[in-house]
Amino acid sequence: MSVFKQLSHLYHSKNEHFLFVDYNFYKKWKPLIKFIVFLNKDYISCLIFRKNYKLYKDIVIVGLKWNGRNVKRRTTGFAKDFLEETKNPRCIYCNKKLNETNATIDHIVPISKGGNNCQVNLVVVCIKCNNERGNMEFYKYLKLKNQTYKNQKNIFF
């Protein structure tokens, strides 16, 4: 896809749950991407680095569909599926082993800041970290809790 087409897509999108670009594209056009997502009033700007999403590798989520205050908090099943599908499920923050009793869903961009329930905005974490983080910025809290990420700039997970 041409640069113009990709940028135009970010501007004209209305119905997708989130907007994303390839990491290399993001690196090259960072400020412009941010500005264009800002102009699209159906989305809120964000930065979420995902290693794998369906068929895509190394993508950056640059916008989340803005649903106002009507986001349903229904994320049932996500944590359960995660525990079943993951070999050694651990809290992304503190690295504690996760099980049915301590696993909870955390929103990377909190609902209170315009985040939604789409899968790219969800992580499964332990209940203790979830409560402690509150509304702190995701990557800030992640670096605070997990030494592995401390000096990394863009953290893909």
124 bridge partner residues: 105
Closest approach of Cβ 95 to Zn ion, in Å?
A: 7
Count of residues interacting with Zn ion (CB under 5 A): 6
**105 near Zn ion (CB under 5 A):** no
Which residue from 8, 94, 137, 140 is in contact with Zn ion, where contact means CB under 5 A?
94
**141 near Zn ion (CB under 5 A):** no
User: Interaction with Zn ion in 74-93: which residues (CB under 5 A)?
Assistant: 91, 93
Closest approach of Cβ 101 to Zn ion, in Å?
A: 13
Residue nearer to Zn ion on the CB measure, 44 or 106: 106
Residue nearer to Zn ion on the CB measure, 67 or 95: 95
- Summarize as ranges the residues that interact with Zn ion (CB under 5 A): 91, 93-94, 96, 126, 129
